[in-house]
Structure 1
């Protein structure tokens, strides 16, 4: 039973050595260990707080992103509508301008035709006047004693005249 029951001197020395070890640990190691644990606890708490703040920021940024996307879509729709209106306006203006240009061209063609018509009529009048003078000159030159002869001559001259 000597193994189960320790000697009182051994217990005494064990208590003294345990006290010395406890004193040395308390003096030199206990404070740094406690400080290290406290710092570790504070750094974990700070990290958790930072993570929570970052999570809140991400949620806020996500909400802001959604708002920005919605606004961008609205702006896109507005721009597309404005572009369609502008396109319709440009097409309408182009059609109106083309119609006006066509009307101008038609009016110029009418004026040109009218001018050419007037010039042709004036030229025909000039030719008729010249022919009349030529006929009158020939009629006067020839002796006309009777009316039948005069009429035959005028008919012959009219048949000989060719209009251009």
Structure 2
């Protein structure tokens, strides 16, 4: 077996105790420097990240619970809104029915009033017509009486004929 020699008296297979000491010392110094300069910030960052993740998980859990509460509140509000809608529709139907009934009663009352007014007008017209006819008949009777009185002064037979003739004329009119 041949041994590889890089430096005078240095063997890879049998390291020198001084070399082990210096290598270990340099390793510990580098480890210490890296520990302070790199490992502590990395460890702090990892702890912070772990804390942030835990905080985010807690926040997500709280948000889920809040959403669950909101969903139940929304369901309750929806149910209340549906109940209010039912009540409002019922009230609107009652108001519509009452309005229709009132309008029907008003229309009946107006029709009754119009019929009563028409009856009164017919009665007044009938009375006026009767009065007018009576007045005409009275005037005719006066005319007949006047003509009879004039004729009576002349003769009695002629009065009878004249009365007959006037009665026939009145019947035709």
Query: TM-score, normalising length from structure 1?
Result: 0.89
Q: 2:133 corresponds to which residue?
A: 124
Q: Which of these residues, 13, 20, 23, is aligned with residue 5 of structure 1?
A: 13
Matched, 1:145 2:164: no
For 1:110, the equivalent position in structure 2 comes to: 119
Which is bigger in relative contact order (C-alpha 8 A, separation at least 6)? 1
1:25 paired to 2:34: yes
Tell whether 2:67 aligns with 1:67.
Answer: no
Q: Which whole-Å CA distance do the structure 2 matches of 1:39 and 1:96 have between them?
A: 82
Residue in structure 2 matched with residue 96 of structure 1 by the alignment: 105
CA distance in 2, matches of 1:151, 1:135: 12
Alpha-carbon offset, residue 76 of structure 1: 0.5
> How many equivalent residue pairs?
161
1:2-43 C-alpha deviation (Å, 9 max, x unpaired): 587341344333212211111212333232222111111111
Deviations 1:92-112 (A, max 9, x none): 000000000000000000000
Question: What TM-score results when the alignment is normalised by the length of structure 2?
Answer: 0.85
**Per-residue Cα deviation, 1:96-142 (whole angstroms, up to 9, x for no partner):** 00000000000000000100100010011111111111101111111
Instruction: Identify the residue that residue 85 of structure 2 maps to in structure 1.
Output: 76
Q: State how 1:38-49 maps to structure 2 within 5 Å.
A: 38-49=47-58
Aligned equivalents of 2:23 and 2:120: distance in 1? 136
Structure 2 regions of 5+ residues with no counterpart? Answer: 5-11
After TM superposition, the structure 1 stretch with the greater mean CA deviation from structure 2, 151-160 or 99-108, is 151-160
Structure with bigger gyration radius:
2
- Structure 1 gaps, min length 5: none
C-alpha RMSD of matched pairs (Å)? 1.8
Offset at 1:150? 3.5
- Alpha-carbon spacing, 1:134–1:6, altered in 2? closer, same or farther (3 Å): farther
Moved more, 67-76 or 6-15: 6-15
